[in-house]
Amino acid sequence: MSTRATGRLVDEDGAAWRSGLVVDVIHGSRLFGPPLGTAVPDDQGVFSLSYAADAPGLRQPLGTRQLVIRISDRVGRLVHRRERADVDTEVLDLGDIAIKRAEAGGFLVTLGTGEPSLVSDGNEVRPLIDNVEAWGHIGAAFQAAQRSIEFTQLNFFTPRFAADPRDEAAVLVFGFEPPPPTTSTPRAVTERDLRPEVTLREKGRRAGLSIRVLLDHMAIPFPFLTWAVDQVHDRLNVWRNPTDAEEARDYFRRSDATGVKVLPFLPAFYRRMHMKMAFVDVRAETGGEAISVASPFRPGYLDGPGHAIDDPARGGAADTAFPLHDVSMSMKGPAVADAYDAFRLHWNAALPAEDAQDRVEGIARPAKRAGGPESIAALQIVRTLDDGLFDERSDGERGILEGYLRAFAQAQRFIYLETQYLTNPTLADALLKAVSDRPALRVVIALNINPDIPTYPRQQQKLVNELFARLPAGRPPQVGVFTRWTFDRADPPARPRPRIAPIWLHSKVGVVDDVWATVGSANLDGASLDRVDAWAIPEFVDSRHSEQNVNILNGVDGQPATAVVETLRRRLWAEHLGIAADDPALTLRTGAEALDLWNVQAQAALQALRAPSTAPAGSAYVLPYPVGEPLSCRCCASHETPRKHLDVLGVTKDIDAVKSVRGFDYKTGDWDPRTPLQIDG
């Protein structure tokens, strides 16, 4: 058996790969263990690596030993794999190994084909930050629709039907006719306010306008349990399963909205259609608009950049229990057709055979939009699709994960992540390799204090702890992790003590060096990127959710320059850090400036909270995420509640930590006594 492998890495033109790739040789019976040997090619692409003839601890198979040659980029993304039978000589000569340039480097996702897909320039892009802006935009687009409204959603709450919408107990409002309800002047929802189901029922009665609604429907493997939950909910006169397409169908059927067709998407257990997209008047000749929708359409998610603890406009208390931040995005231009392809795939898969006449077809790309770099950008649509879900995508897609890994490998100054969950070990390992390889690189991560999925709190805390523990020693800090909060001063006699609440980050945003950004539905967990990991056992089920992200490209890989990426990052940081979007501090020349800015603001927030009587009220509080805390049980973090989190940071108990904000009843125009504000500890 061989003890050394040699070869040369070349591109499709035969030119040598000069940097950025790593070669591993792995024993064929231990694909998940450490490699037999590793080498970095020289500046001529030549590599040589040595290994033992007999790998210790492995049972040697009969016959010829099989070896696997893996070639990956600097953050561990696989770019080439081949199997090779071992030889009887000392040296295994692999010769020239050709790897396409597009496959091994750059920001553009190829899905292993060597050619980028779903990339277009000339798109008009508008980030929609927080749901007052996003839902208001979506509602206005629905109202203006002339030919079609189509959307996919995780949830879509509808009220109990009444012939006159004014008699219904509104549960969702996308926008308020001025003046909106406030804490000083609360009011009930009126017919002038923008309710999405009312817009759809009115539009659904018009000839020539089609409405398609595709709702995720989680498959529960215990039918009796589903029936029992529905019975209890019915008796209590509250909403039933918010993803029940039958209820939405019934609502629009009773409204005589014959133009509305609602379908459930019924994936396998643990495989959800988490992708949330809306399309209005989408046709090649008219262009139309595609909107990457961040939030499910359910109560409590309506919030603005102020993220007040008490906000009647928010309506019913969200399942997150806190003020909520999110990021959606509107696009017009060629990318609309690329984004619509995912709707086509899922709608047609959900459509019953007897309704074949309602299948949707893909559309040709609309014309490029006119405008300057402040709003026009090149986009790539990237997706996560499960294996075997669609005949024409039988191998599925992991394009979102590939996009992140490519961006990390290209990062020079800073990586910024704003995410609901951070539990994916592949992504964390890539971050570690990126900062280890580049001492000047900095990483800023905005996270929630306590993810809302079982086992995720502990997984996230463990991942963050390990990330910091494995950072290269002897360097200035390269990674910072932060949480967001909103603070109210005392206001006697109604509120004798100051209070503080976490802001739930529901957003899924990444930015690298202001040249690449991603916005969409994918969390940084296994379910959204590669495989479900809800029980901290990746092998529990080999499945993943349907997701779609939009990658924005600024002057990279031959794409035109745009200001959209930096503008998005400036707007987000302005909200989080409490500074103006045009503040010179947000002009980043180095990665160190990025991390230093967040560290300074976090320390200033801690200092302000030590004197709560003079601390400024508002939502511009970022605090450090506690690193190095001992792990608790298998499911929980050691600082899973707001009070425990603040205690770790040394924040005084003279400030009340809010455990859950109170809900507002849109029907009565008053605070809902069923969901009062709760203080933690």
Mean pLDDT of 610-634: 88
Tell me the chain's radius of gyration from C-alpha atoms. 26
Of 218, 245, 216, 214, the C-alpha closest to 151 is 214
Long-range contacts of 230-239 (CB under 8 A, 24+ apart): 239/157, 239/171
Q: How confident is the model at residue 537 (pLDDT cuts 50, 70, 90)?
A: very low
Residue 230 has pLDDT above 60, yes or no: no
- If DSSP codes are grouped into helix, strand and coil, which group holds residue 600? helix
* pLDDT above 90: residue 225: no
Q: pLDDT tens-digit profile of 456-515? A: 999 999 999 999 999 999 999 999 999 999 999 999 999 999 999 999 999 999 999 999
> Average pLDDT of the chain?
91
Output the CATH code of domain 120-353: 3.30.870.10
Residue whose C-alpha is closest to residue 279's, from 216, 326, 344: 344
Question: d(Cα 203, Cα 670) in Å, to the nearest integer?
Answer: 30
pLDDT at 30 over 80: no
Q: How far apart are CA 537 and CA 204, in angstroms?
A: 45
74, two tokens: 């600097």
pLDDT digits (tens, 9 = 90+) for 274-329: 999 999 999 877 789 999 999 999 989 999 999 999 999 999 876 668 999 999 99
Name the pLDDT band for 634 (thresholds 50, 70, 90).
Answer: low
Burial of 352 (0-12, 13-18, 19+ CB in 10 A): exposed
At 652 the three-state DSSP class reads coil
What is the C-alpha separation between 121 and 129, in angstroms, rounded?
Answer: 23
How many Å apart are CA 78 and CA 72, to the nearest integer?
4
What pLDDT is recorded for position 434? 97
pLDDT the model gives residue 49 = 94
Q: Is the model's pLDDT at 57 over the cut of 90?
A: no
Q: What are the sequence ranges of the domains in the chain?
A: 4-104, 120-353
* 3-class secondary structure, 554: coil
CB atoms within 10 A of CB 147: 13
Mean pLDDT of 102-106: 95
Quick: pLDDT tens for 355-383: 999 999 999 999 999 999 999 999 999 99
Q: Check pLDDT > 60 for residue 243.
A: no
Biggest CA–CA distance in the chain, Å, is: 87
Identify the weakest region by mean pLDDT among 47-56, 103-112, 615-624: 47-56
Question: Span 590-600, mean pLDDT?
Answer: 98
Confidence at residue 296, expressed as pLDDT on a 0 to 100 scale: 95
Look at residue 240 in the predicted model and tell me its pLDDT: 43
The whole-number average pLDDT for the span 7-24 is 92
Closest CA to 351 of 450, 444, 245: 245
Query: How far is CA 165 from each of CA 189, 192, 278, rounded to the nearest angstrom?
Result: 11, 11, 24
Q: Is domain 4-104 given the CATH code 2.60.40.3330 in the classification?
A: yes
More confident residue, 284 or 247: 247
The pLDDT of residue 266 is: 82
Q: What angle do CA 372, 375, 381 make, to 5 degrees?
A: 120
**How far apart are alpha carbons 117 and 386 in whole angstroms?**
18
For the stretch 498-536, pLDDT in tens is: 999 999 999 999 999 999 999 999 999 999 999 887 654
Contact 98, 107 (CB under 8 A): no
Lowest mean pLDDT among 232-241, 530-539, 592-601: 232-241
b/e sequence 199-209, b meaning 16+ C-beta within 10 Å: bbbebbeeeeb
- Strands 656-660 and 499-502, by their bridges, are parallel
The amino acid that residue 18 corresponds to is: R
Other beta carbons within 10 Å of 362 = 13
Lowest pLDDT segment from 104-113, 122-131, 528-537, 646-655: 528-537
Check pLDDT > 90 for residue 224.
no
The DSSP element (H or E) to which 519 belongs, if any, is strand 516-520
Q: Which pLDDT score is estimated for 55?
A: 58
